[in-house]
């Protein structure tokens, strides 16, 4: 037989088989749910033709996929087995997506380069852009597939992703599977003009395709063109497939409550599987007997696989605590620098650490707003970095914080080491979704398959009359989040050693640089040599003492030192600990000190309520209760925002006098 | 083999489902994945496919019933040919568990019923509700109180406002009237226990007919040994003589606060709570700090006896074993008096001046106005208000004696709050007559009488015993003529009044000296030489005498 539109009989039957298999898997999975064996399901029924057509144009394992939860048929064609998908659905120990850590239909497969997916709609786009950026930097012809429903395109990150991908002509294909409903919301209530195709028309270099996604051949053609364009470096594409949703949004939804029977019936008339079969029979591409045989095989396969999968081991409860960090704690001891040079300030320390590490590791990439030369960052922290390393590895990002973190994750997935800058802590919040839901969960949710070891540097801190939006510290918020190290150095030597360690490590790190310290003489230390690093999670005893322990970090280390001068006429000795990293926290050093002194004052610049001092206080109360000879006391910023006028700012921040007073009160207690 | 059919969880947040319709009835044969029933949940409605092939044996939950996720809703008999997997082998065990649970439920029902009966019995008793009696808050700053004595025991009838117990707080002792009429059901806090304000200390079953329900737990209240009776009845056992503090000691119960670290050191070093209470602290408000504690322990090890460390009572008892003694533990008030007196002597270098005063004229005024005064005021006229009057006037002339020493500052007060020492059953108490400088003679008399009465009836409020600026003590009532009283801190002077006795006295007149019989008394002024020198002290006392000598009837 001659090929029909490029497919021979065997291939056509295989396509039908995958569509039918995906459909029967949905049905079987829902049965298992109704029998109480699983609690969640989200199906591909109605999307099969578009998905199989899309996947047929990629090379799974060479190309990258960021598939959304409805992409089951896509993955069957991409190369995943029914066994793997059932293990994932049943959250079994051997599930390759994450060993039972994630909801059903949250796909992931490292060998096939299927990046472990999360639940938030739309976070995948920017990561796909990052991975595509990496593919280009490595001079490959890999293409990245990313998909979503039409509803997710309302997320702002969709447009951020299109902007960056188009700007840089990146090889990424955005597949929008438009089934007309985002859960219960019809696309008329979702998208301007109810057309994703129309709203993406203004991006230069962006290919646009709108296809009938229930027609396999039509969709296949569009993808073939889009993928070819991408491989040739001509730029990204959006493919909008018009599909039907035969099942409710998920097992937790009942579409009979918002869709009429007539409408549902109309959808069933457009069943892509039936269309494909009827077309094949009409064109005599295969026979009814062929179909019967394929279907029989699939039914048996589904039954067998279900029984087999149900018998596989569940994860062990203890596994829940594993694989949050690549390294929980670096066991290396802190060694002094081998040699030291001229005194440098904090700003120079960061600059030098970046230069040294970028020269040391060619996979290191730095980007952010304004960081490229000639400006070299709004604080000139990255000055000279582009000139030294090159535009390919040090460059400006759009003013879009989610883009910075999202693409960085995609780059890390592709094997790069991104060290990105958020211009001010005050502006990190657009990236919070990428940080909280993606960056910090990637390693955990994939049970160690994928790591997102991005270092985020950001200036923090007040005392510079920066007003509400150039003053935030917010370290407490991030210390609360599992999966990201939080580093907050107070002097130049620490900053250099800790930043180099962060960059060499394999976990996400938030590296906080106090603006008030960048150019402060107080931070000056002789510059440690290029090999000097400090393991994260080692507090530093700034000054030893017997009567009171002060636990602090960042700018407050110097405020505490000033406050101590007010106590010089008292016959007391105070121990000062600079924790340097909030996560991991070196609690052993704090504990040993409190056991010695019996009294503790915690000083930090973040707000009092929910600040990290509360956590330290609670642990001391719990683990050193019988060693306490006074109330655990905290000094922190007032629970209000940072007002601009110096008098107002002064009032709300911890001051030297406040610290001195608290120390005195504790000492005489 | 019989297997359970359970209500499935049809969504993450779903906890229950309603059975809409059974599509099979008992006896029907069902295929695997064939629909068994329809259910409806908050989120979705769904047909439930059978997990097995077999015969539906039993339907346990009817249509329209809403049942929790995982509840067994039916049982089916699986066909022999059906596949047998591991988990099914475990099912008989589950089944028997389910049976056990249902048995347990049956067993627990009668008990429930009993409780209900008991409850309704109470309810039928009209107002037979059992209510809590709380430790009252006897003053703004009061956070706890010590139970001195229970005046009722479990089972006793008590009327509303009848005294239930006596309590002692920082400064005031008081009888606590019952807030309800009823029967004391339970006493929860023993005598000598110190408890926080609002702690439940007893329970009363309310109502005139109360008593139908027997008192619940008759907790031993220690009333036999702790009720002020001699300790001798308690035979000290060997364990009690051990040096280490016993485990039942609760350091937190005392008035003093000890940090966890101090208590930890005390436990490790075998320092008893009694010892702890005696260590003088260098911390805030005399708190015992880690350093004090370490110093104490070190001194103890080196054999330096700490000052005035009282021996633990068990040790005292052992020492006096078989001797004719009575060992009386100090109560809270006694301890406090002891402490205050000791502190005052340690704080103020006392100087004493004694003056003679002729009360004959005052006695005559009292005598001639007695009947009229009592009729009008409701209490007897004594010479006391005359002293208060004279002292107030003298202190207005010499505010240096109406002062206190705070740090390096002398605080002279332009208001005069007279502390008046009153002897009560359980010791000395000093109610304070406030703003004496604003009162006339009758005002002073009334205030003094009111305070004395309330002191004896244990009705003083905390405010009534705070803030004295000068104190007067009258030991003359016992017949003694001269005394040397201890200053009531933070006052700097105290006036002692001896007994008024008739004595032959030389009277100088213009016509020449004669000997007459006069009612004479000795007044002593103890004053704090830190800030009151002899001149001021002696002049102040002489001024008191002067005003007493020159009082006329018209002040009445």
Distance CA A367, CA A371 (A): 7
Tokens of A354: 């970046």
The Cα-based distances of B379 to A487, B298, B374, B455, B552 in angstroms read 79, 60, 5, 16, 21
Q: Is residue B125 part of a domain?
A: no
Give yes or no: residues A381 and A351 share one domain. Answer: yes
- The predicted model gives B279-305 an average pLDDT of 84
- The predicted model gives B293-303 an average pLDDT of 85
* pLDDT at position A526: 97
Give yes or no: residues A294 and A359 share one domain. Answer: no
Mutation target to probe the B interface, by most B beta carbons within 10 A, among A34, A570, A662 is: A34
Pairing mode of beta strands B2-6, B54-59: unpaired
pLDDT tens, residue by residue, A168-177 = 999 999 999 9
pLDDT tens, residue by residue, A520-575 = 999 999 999 999 999 999 999 999 999 999 999 999 999 999 999 999 877 889 99
Which of these three, A273, A292, A311, is where a domain ends?
A311
- How would you list the strands of the sheet with B130-134, edge to edge? B130-134, B200-206, B182-187, B157-158
Mutation target to probe the B interface, by most B beta carbons within 10 A, among A629, A661, A665 is: A629
Which of these three, B265, B293, B327, is where a domain ends?
B327
Q: To the nearest whole number, what is the mean pLDDT of chain B? A: 79
* pLDDT at position B256: 80
Determine, for residues B9 and A669 on separate chains, whether the beta-carbon distance falls below 8 Å.
Answer: no
Give yes or no: residues A380 and A480 share one domain. Answer: yes
Count of structural domains, chain A = 3
Tokens of B9: 């969880």
Closest-CA residue to B197 (of B252, B256, B138, B120)? B138
Pairing mode of beta strands B432-433, B470-474: unpaired
Q: What pTM, to 2 d.p., does this model score?
A: 0.66
- The predicted model gives A49-57 an average pLDDT of 98
- The predicted model gives A302-327 an average pLDDT of 96
Q: E strands of A521-596, at which residues?
A: 525-528, 540-543, 548-552, 574-578, 581-583
**What percent of chain A stands above pLDDT 70?**
100
Between A36, A253, A665, which is nearest B44 by CB?
A253
B273 pLDDT above the threshold of 90: no
Determine, for residues A668 and B262 on separate chains, whether the beta-carbon distance falls below 8 Å.
Answer: no
Determine, for residues A36 and B263 on separate chains, whether the beta-carbon distance falls below 8 Å.
Answer: no
**What percent of chain B stands above pLDDT 70?**
79
Give yes or no: residues A298 and A402 share one domain. Answer: no
* CATH code of B439's domain: 3.30.559.10
**Residue B227 pLDDT level (bands cut at 50, 70, 90):** very low
* pLDDT at position B338: 86
Q: Is residue B121 part of a domain?
A: no
Q: E strands of B366-469, at which residues?
A: 403-406, 409-412, 418-420, 422-424, 427-429, 432-433
More confident residue, B313 or A23: A23
Query: Is-contact B498 B476, C-beta < 8 A?
Result: yes
Closest-CA residue to A50 (of A78, A27, A19)? A19
Q: Is residue A123 part of a domain?
A: yes
Contact A318/B at CB under 8 A: no
Q: Is residue B141 part of a domain?
A: yes
Q: DSSP for B256-325, please give it.
A: S---HHHHHHHHHHT--HHHHHHSPP-SGGGPPPHHHHHHHHHHHHTT-PPTT-PPPHHHHHHHTTTSS-
Cα A561 to the center of its chain, rounded Å: 38
Q: Which residues of B lie closer than 8 Å to A, measured between beta carbons?
A: 6-14, 33, 43-51, 69-70, 83, 85-86, 259-264, 283-284, 287, 289-290
Give the nearest chain A residue to B289 (CA atoms).
A629
Give yes or no: residues B549 and B441 share one domain. Answer: yes
Give yes or no: residues B524 and B432 share one domain. Answer: yes
What does the DSSP 8-state code read for residue A428? -
* pLDDT at position A246: 96
**Residue B237 pLDDT level (bands cut at 50, 70, 90):** very low
List of chain A residues whose C-beta atoms are within 8 Å of the C-beta of residue B51: 35, 37
Give yes or no: residues B189 and B58 share one domain. Answer: no
Q: Is residue A275 part of a domain?
A: yes
Q: Is residue A146 part of a domain?
A: yes
Q: Which residues contact A420 (CB under 8 A, 6 or more apart)?
A: A366, A367, A368, A397, A404, A405, A408, A454, A455, A456, A457
Mutation target to probe the A interface, by most A beta carbons within 10 A, among B260, B262, B291, B294 is: B260
Nearest CA-CA distance, residue B348 and chain A, Å: 25
Looking up tokens 């002077």 gives B493
Hey, CA dihedral for B549, B550, B552, B556, is it positive or negative?
Answer: negative
Give yes or no: residues B446 and B515 share one domain. Answer: yes
* pLDDT at position B215: 42
**Residue B126 pLDDT level (bands cut at 50, 70, 90):** very low
Determine, for residues A310 and B46 on separate chains, whether the beta-carbon distance falls below 8 Å.
Answer: no
* pLDDT at position B176: 84
* pLDDT at position A633: 98
Nearest CA-CA distance, residue B295 and chain A, Å: 15
pLDDT tens, residue by residue, B402-418 = 999 988 899 999 999 99
Other CB atoms within 10 A of residue A218 CB: 18
Determine, for residues B44 and A629 on separate chains, whether the beta-carbon distance falls below 8 Å.
Answer: no
- Cβ contacts below 8 Å, chain A against chain B, sum to 78
Which of these three, B292, B327, B362, is where a domain ends?
B327
**Residue B198 pLDDT level (bands cut at 50, 70, 90):** confident
* CATH code of B28's domain: 2.40.50.100
Give the nearest chain A residue to B14 (CA atoms).
A252
What is the three-class DSSP state of A96?
A: coil
Question: Can you give the residue range of the structural domain that contains B354?
Answer: 347-555
* CATH code of A160's domain: 3.40.50.970
Q: Is residue A83 part of a domain?
A: yes
Determine, for residues B261 and A627 on separate chains, whether the beta-carbon distance falls below 8 Å.
Answer: yes
Distance CA A523, CA A492 (A): 5
Q: Is residue B442 part of a domain?
A: yes
Between A35, A311, A626, which is nearest B260 by CB?
A626
Give yes or no: residues B189 and B290 share one domain. Answer: no
- The predicted model gives A287-307 an average pLDDT of 97
Q: To the nearest whole number, what is the mean pLDDT of chain A? A: 96
Catalytically active residues of A are 470
Give yes or no: residues A550 and A520 share one domain. Answer: no
Give yes or no: residues A124 and A229 share one domain. Answer: yes
pLDDT tens, residue by residue, A190-230 = 999 999 999 999 999 999 999 999 999 999 999 999 999 99
Which of these three, A496, A528, A560, is where a domain ends?
A528
Hey, CA dihedral for B302, B307, B311, B312, is it positive or negative?
Answer: negative
Q: Is residue B333 part of a domain?
A: no
B299 pLDDT above the threshold of 90: no
Q: Is residue B53 part of a domain?
A: yes
Give yes or no: residues A511 and A584 share one domain. Answer: no
pLDDT tens, residue by residue, A27-49 = 999 999 988 889 899 999 999 99
How many secondary structure helices (H) and strands (E) does chain A include?
24, 21
Task: State the Cα torsion A494-A495-A499-A501 to the nearest 10°.
Answer: 0
Give yes or no: residues A507 and A652 share one domain. Answer: no
Which of these three, A501, A528, A555, is where a domain ends?
A528
List of chain B residues whose C-beta atoms are within 8 Å of the C-beta of residue A665: 284
Give yes or no: residues B33 and B167 share one domain. Answer: no
Q: Which residues contact A264 (CB under 8 A, 6 or more apart)?
A: A255, A256
Looking up tokens 């004052």 gives A601
Give yes or no: residues B414 and B509 share one domain. Answer: yes
Query: Is-contact B332 B228, C-beta < 8 A?
Result: no
pLDDT tens, residue by residue, B16-60 = 889 999 999 999 999 988 999 999 887 778 889 998 889 999 999
Give yes or no: residues A544 and A583 share one domain. Answer: yes
Contact A39/B at CB under 8 A: yes
**Residue A241 pLDDT level (bands cut at 50, 70, 90):** very high
* CATH code of A561's domain: 3.40.50.920
ipTM: 0.72
Determine, for residues A669 and B284 on separate chains, whether the beta-carbon distance falls below 8 Å.
Answer: yes
Q: Is residue B266 part of a domain?
A: yes
Give yes or no: residues B407 and B551 share one domain. Answer: yes
Query: Is-contact B289 A629, C-beta < 8 A?
Result: yes
* pLDDT at position B171: 58
Looking up tokens 């636990």 gives A551
Give yes or no: residues A180 and A247 share one domain. Answer: yes
Nearest CA-CA distance, residue A254 and chain B, Å: 5
Give yes or no: residues B422 and B529 share one domain. Answer: yes
Q: Is residue B168 part of a domain?
A: yes
pLDDT tens, residue by residue, A106-126 = 999 999 999 999 999 999 999
Between B47, B49, B261, which is nearest A628 by CB?
B261
Helix axes of A82-89 and A288-310: crossing angle, nearest 10 degrees: 40
Determine, for residues A40 and B12 on separate chains, whether the beta-carbon distance falls below 8 Å.
Answer: yes
pLDDT tens, residue by residue, A574-616 = 999 999 999 999 999 999 999 999 999 999 999 999 999 999 9
Q: Is residue A326 part of a domain?
A: no
pLDDT tens, residue by residue, A405-456 = 999 999 999 999 999 999 999 999 999 999 999 999 999 999 999 999 999 9
Give yes or no: residues B250 and B284 share one domain. Answer: yes
Give yes or no: residues A57 and A101 share one domain. Answer: yes
User: H/E/C letters for each residue in B197-249?
Assistant: CCCEEEEEEECCCCCCCCCCCCCCCCCCCCCCCCHHHCCCCHHHHCCCCCCCC
How many angstroms separate the most distant Cα atoms in chain A?
101
Determine, for residues A31 and B264 on separate chains, whether the beta-carbon distance falls below 8 Å.
Answer: no
Give yes or no: residues B196 and B244 share one domain. Answer: no
- The predicted model gives A128-157 an average pLDDT of 98
Q: DSSP for B4-54, please give it.
A: EEE----STT--EEEEEEESS-TT-EE-TT-EEEEEE-SS-EEEEE-SS-E
Cα A632 to the center of its chain, rounded Å: 36
pLDDT tens, residue by residue, A366-402 = 999 999 999 999 999 999 999 999 999 999 999 999 9
Question: Can you give the residue range of the structural domain that contains A385?
Answer: 340-528
Give yes or no: residues B199 and B249 share one domain. Answer: no
Give yes or no: residues A174 and A139 share one domain. Answer: yes
* pLDDT at position A505: 96
Count of structural domains, chain B = 4
């Amino acid at each position: 037989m001659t090929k029909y539109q490029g497919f021979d009989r065997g291939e056509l039957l295989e396509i039908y088989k995958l569509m039918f298999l995906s459909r029967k898997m949905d049905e079987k999975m829902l049965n298992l749910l109704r029998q109480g064996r699983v609690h969640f399901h989200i199906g591909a029924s109605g999307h099969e033709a578009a998905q199989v057509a899309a996947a047929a144009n990629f090379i799974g394992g060479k190309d990258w996929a960021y598939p959304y939860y409805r992409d089951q048929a896509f993955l069957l064609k991409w190369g995943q087995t029914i066994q793997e998908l059932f293990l994932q659905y049943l959250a079994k120990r051997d599930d390759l997506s994450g060993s039972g850590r994630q909801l059903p239909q949250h796909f992931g497969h490292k060998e096939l380069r299927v990046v472990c997916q999360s639940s938030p709609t739309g976070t995948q786009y920017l990561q796909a852009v990052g991975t595509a950026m990496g593919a280009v930097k490595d001079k490959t012809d890999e293409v990245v597939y990313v998909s979503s429903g039409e509803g997710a395109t309302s997320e702002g990150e969709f447009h951020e992703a299109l902007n960056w991908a188009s700007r840089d002509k990146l090889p990424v294909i955005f597949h929008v599977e438009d089934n007309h409903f985002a859960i219960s919301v019809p696309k008329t209530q979702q998208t301007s003009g109810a057309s994703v195709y129309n709203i993406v028309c203004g991006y230069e270099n962006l290919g646009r395709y709108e296809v009938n996604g229930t027609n396999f051949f039509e969709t296949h053609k569009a993808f073939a063109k889009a993928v070819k364009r991408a491989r040739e470096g001509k730029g990204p594409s959006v493919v909008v497939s018009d599909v039907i949703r035969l099942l409710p949004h998920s097992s937790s939804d009942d579409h009979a409550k918002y869709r009429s029977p007539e409408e549902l019936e109309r959808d069933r008339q457009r069943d892509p599987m039936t269309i494909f079969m009827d077309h094949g029979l009409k064109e005599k591409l295969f026979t009814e007997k062929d179909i019967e045989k394929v279907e029989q095989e699939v039914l048996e396969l589904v039954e067998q696989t279900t029984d087999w999968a149900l018998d596989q081991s569940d994860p062990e409860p203890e596994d829940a605590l594993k694989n949050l960090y690549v390294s929980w704690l670096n066991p290396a001891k802190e060694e002094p620098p081998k040699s030291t040079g001229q005194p440098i300030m904090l700003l120079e320390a960061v600059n030098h650490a970046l230069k040294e590490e970028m020269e040391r590791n060619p996979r290191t990439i730095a980007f952010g707003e304004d960081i490229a030369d000639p400006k070299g960052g709004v604080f000139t922290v990255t000055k000279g970095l582009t000139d030294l390393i090159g535009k390919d590895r040090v460059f400006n990002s759009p003013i879009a914080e989610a883009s910075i973190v999202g693409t960085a994750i995609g780059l890390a997935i592709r094997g790069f080491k991104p060290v990105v800058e958020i211009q001010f802590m005050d502006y990190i919040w657009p990236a919070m979704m990428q940080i909280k839901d993606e960056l910090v969960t990637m390693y955990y949710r994939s049970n160690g398959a994928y790591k997102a070891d991005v270092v985020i540097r950001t200036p923090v801190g007040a005392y510079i009359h920066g007003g509400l939006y150039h003053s935030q510290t917010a370290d407490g918020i991030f210390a609360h989040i599992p999966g990201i190290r939080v580093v907050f150095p107070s002097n130049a030597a620490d900053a250099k050693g800790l930043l180099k360690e962060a960059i060499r490590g394999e976990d996400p790190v938030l590296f906080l640089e106090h603006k008030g310290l960048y150019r402060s003489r107080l931070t000056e230390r002789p510059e440690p040599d290029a090999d000097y690093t400090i393991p994260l999670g080692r507090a530093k005893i700034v000054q030893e003492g017997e009567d009171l322990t002060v636990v602090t970090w960042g700018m407050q280390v110097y405020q505490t030192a000033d406050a101590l001068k007010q106590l010089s006429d008292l016959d007391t000795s105070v121990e000062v600990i600079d924790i340097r990293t909030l996560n991991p926290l070196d609690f052993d050093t704090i504990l040993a000190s409190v056991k010695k002194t019996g009294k503790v004052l915690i000083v930090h610049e973040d707000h009092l309520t929910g600040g990290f001092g509360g956590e330290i206080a609670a642990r001391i109360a719990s683990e050193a209760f019988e060693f306490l000879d006074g109330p655990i006391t905290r000094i922190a910023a007032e629970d209000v925002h940072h007002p601009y006028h110096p008098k107002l700012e002064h009032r709300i921040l911890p001051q030297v006098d406040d610290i001195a007073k608290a120390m005195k009160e504790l000492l005489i207690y | 083999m019989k297997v359970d059919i359970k209500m499935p969880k049809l969504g993450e947040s779903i906890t229950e489902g309603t059975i809409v319709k059974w599509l099979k009835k008992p006896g029907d044969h069902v295929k695997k994945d064939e629909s068994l029933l329809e259910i409806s949940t908050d989120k979705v409605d769904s047909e439930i496919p059978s997990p097995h092939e077999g015969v539906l044996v039993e339907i346990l939950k009817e249509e329209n019933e809403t049942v929790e996720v995982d509840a067994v809703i039916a049982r089916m008999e699986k066909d022999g040919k059906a596949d047998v997997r591991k988990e099914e082998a475990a099912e008989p065990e589950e089944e028997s568990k389910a049976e056990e649970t249902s048995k347990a439920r049956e067993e627990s029902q009668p008990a429930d019923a009993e409780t209900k009966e008991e409850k309704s019995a109470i309810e039928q008793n009209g107002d037979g509700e059992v209510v809590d009696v709380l430790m009252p808050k006897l003053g703004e700053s009061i956070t706890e109180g010590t139970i001195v004595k229970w005046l009722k025991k479990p089972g006793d009838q008590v009327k509303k406002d009848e005294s239930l117990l006596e309590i002692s707080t920082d400064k005031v002792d008081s009888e606590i009237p019952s807030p309800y009429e009823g029967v004391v059901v339970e006493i929860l806090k023993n005598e000598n226990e110190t408890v926080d304000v609002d702690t439940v200390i007893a329970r009363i079953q309310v109502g005139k007919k109360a008593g139908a329900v027997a008192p619940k737990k008759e907790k031993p209240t220690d009333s036999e040994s702790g009720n002020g009776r001699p300790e001798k009845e308690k035979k000290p056992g060997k364990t009690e003589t051990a040096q280490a503090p016993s485990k039942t000691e609760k350091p937190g119960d005392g008035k003093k606060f000890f940090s966890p670290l101090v208590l930890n050191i005390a436990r490790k070093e075998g320092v008893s709570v009694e010892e702890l209470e005696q260590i003088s602290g260098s911390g805030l408000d005399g708190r015992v700090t880690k350093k004090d504690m370490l110093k104490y322990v070190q001194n103890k090890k080196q054999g330096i006896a700490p000052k005035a460390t009282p021996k633990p009572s068990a040790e005292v008892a052992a020492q006096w074993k078989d001797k004719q003694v009575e060992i009386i533990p100090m109560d809270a008030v006694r301890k406090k008096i002891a402490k205050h007196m000791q502190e005052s002597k340690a704080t103020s270098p006392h100087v004493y001046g004694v003056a003679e005063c002729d009360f004959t004229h005052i006695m005559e005024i009292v005598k001639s106005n007695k009947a009229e005064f009592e009729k009008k005021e409701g209490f007897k006229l004594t010479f006391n208000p005359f002293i208060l009057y004279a002292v107030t006037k003298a202190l207005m002339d010499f505010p240096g004696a109406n002062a206190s020493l705070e740090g390096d500052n002398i605080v002279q007060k332009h208001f005069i709050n007279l502390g008046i020492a009153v002897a009560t059953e359980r010791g000395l108490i000093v109610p304070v007559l406030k703003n004496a400088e604003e009162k006339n003679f009758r005002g002073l008399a009334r205030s003094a009488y009111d305070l004395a009465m309330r002191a004896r009836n244990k009705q003083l409020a905390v405010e009534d015993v705070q803030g004295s600026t000068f104190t007067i003590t009258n030991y003359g009532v016992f017949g003694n003529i001269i005394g040397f009283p201890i200053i009531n801190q933070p006052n700097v002077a105290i006036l002692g009044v001896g007994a008024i006795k008739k004595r032959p006295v030389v009277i100088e007149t213009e016509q020449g000296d004669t000997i007459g019989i006069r009612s004479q008394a000795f007044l002593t002024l103890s004053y704090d030489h830190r800030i009151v020198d002899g001149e001021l002290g002696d002049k102040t006392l002489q001024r008191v005498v002067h005003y007493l000598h020159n009082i006329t009837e018209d002040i009445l």
